[in-house]
Amino acid sequence: MKKPPSKRRTQEMREEYDFSSGVRGKYVDRYRRGINVALIDPELAEAFPDSKSVNDALRALVAIATRAESRKRA
Contacts of 57 (CB under 8 A, 6+ apart): 48
| H/E element, 20 | none
Q: pTM (2 decimals)?
A: 0.49
Cα 2 to chain centroid, rounded:
29
The answer to whether residue 38 scores a pLDDT higher than 90 is no
Burial class from Cβ neighbours inside 10 Å (0-12, 13-18, 19+) for residue 34 reads exposed
**Confidence category of residue 57, pLDDT binned at 50, 70, 90:** very high
Closest C-alpha to 37, from 26, 21, 23: 26
Q: Where are the domains of the chain?
A: 41-73
**Confidence category of residue 7, pLDDT binned at 50, 70, 90:** low
In this predicted structure, what is the pLDDT of residue 55? 93
The answer to whether residue 74 scores a pLDDT higher than 80 is no
Closest C-alpha to 48, from 37, 60, 61, 57: 57
Higher-pLDDT residue of 26, 8: 26
